[in-house]
Structure 1
Amino acid sequence: MQHLEERIAHLTRAVEDLSDVVARQSAEIAMLERRVGMLMQRAGDADAASGTSIPLADQRPPHW
């Protein structure tokens, strides 16, 4: 019986640790999504300011 209680305690600790990791990763993913959105906005603003009608991502490189 004691062996099972020890095993349950270890599994409970592992689940709590994994829960903490998932929560931290979720917050980090949200932050990174906001940053990517801001970078996409900046790139769009730069494309609009350059006056080209074709977005930079769709333009051919100069060596073509």
Structure 2
Amino acid sequence: MERLEEQIAHLTRTVEDLSDVVARQETELAILTRRAQMLMAREAEREAQGGGGIVVGDERPPHY
């Protein structure tokens, strides 16, 4: 009986640890999703303004 109680305690602790990990990952995923959306919006705005950064022919970027 004591062995079963130890196993239950161990499994309960493992479930709690995994729950904490999932909660942290959910927060990180929300942050990363928001950042990706902001970057996509910024790039769409940049393309709409004609500054898409596409090099045509022999045109060299300004850092050359």
With the length of structure 2 as denominator, give the TM-score of the two structures: 0.79
CA RMSD of aligned residues (A): 1.9
Deviation at 1:23, TM superposition (A): 0.2
Give the total of aligned pairs. Answer: 56
Query: What does residue 5 of structure 2 align with?
Result: 5
Deviation at 1:31, TM superposition (A): 0.3
Structure 1: segments with no counterpart, 5+ residues? none
Looking at both structures, which has the greater relative contact order when contacts are Cα pairs under 8 Å and sequence separation is at least 6?
A: 1
Structure 2: segments with no counterpart, 5+ residues? 58-64
Structure richer in helix, relative to its length: 1
Code of the residue aligned with 2:38 in structure 1: it is M
Deviation at 1:44, TM superposition (A): 0.3
The list of structure 1 runs, each at least 4 consecutive aligned residues, that deviate by more than 2 angstroms after superposition, is: none
Query: What does residue 31 of structure 1 align with?
Result: 31
Percent of aligned pairs sharing the same letter: 57
Query: What does residue 50 of structure 2 align with?
Result: 50
